[in-house]
Amino acid sequence: MCALAHNPSVTSVRLLGYTGLRWGEATALRVCDIDLARRRIDVRRAFSDVGGRVILGTPKSHQSRTLPIPRFLAREIATAVAGKQADDLAFTTPSGSVLRLPNWRRSVFLSSRARAGISGRFRPHDLRHTAAALMIQAGYPPKMLQEIMGHASITTTLDLYGHLYPGDMDGYADRLGNAAELADPAKIRPDAVDDDPAAKGPGL
């Protein structure tokens, strides 16, 4: 969706598509949660819809986390939050109210999706999966992806996205082979101690 015009509404789409934030986490972000100099977002709270009421709580995992943002997105966020106070919500409706998913989907997401030429089956939550896929393509290892996505267990991360690491073992095996060719055995084990128990004799 990089071809879309720059404006705060579209920035909210990119925020979801490049950070992996859940909807409730993104809409609960305050300006003070965003460190533009370090290009980091601190995820500390999340909104949830309970019986039609927006309730502020903790992220799904009940743990805060910090995630990185690319430079282009940091620049767009800086424009979107310009003039706001530290405790203000970073992304709101034009009137300053909390974003509600049905309204945002109708007023922002659907037009953004159409302009980007994306399938009509693509949902707002799929932006989170898009972010994960892009991070994997960029080389993020599973453990880092788990931390960024806020999964309580690495098992969840691998169950959801493990299939997006095709040929990963071959790639690492090739790197191991390259490292072995460049390595100096004397530097790896300068003492050349033989740790084979059979070679040490009985009782050693």
What does DSSP assign to residue 46? Answer: E
Taking the CB of residue 109, how many other CB atoms lie within 10 A of it? 20
Instruction: Catalogue all structural domains in the chain, each as residue range(s) with its CATH number.
Output: 8-122 (1.10.443.10)
- For residue 96, which of 194, 27, 24 has the smallest C-alpha distance? 27
pTM above 0.95, yes or no: no
Query: Which pLDDT tens digits describe the chain residue by residue (204 residues)?
Result: 443 345 678 899 999 999 999 999 999 999 999 999 999 999 999 999 999 899 999 999 889 999 999 999 999 999 999 999 999 999 999 999 999 999 999 999 999 999 999 999 999 999 999 999 999 999 999 999 999 999 999 999 999 999 998 666 677 778 778 888 887 665 555 555 555 555 555 554
190: which 2 tokens? 């300068």
Give the separation between CA 79 and CA 90, rounded to whole angstroms. 11
Strand partners, 64: none
Residue count (the chain):
204
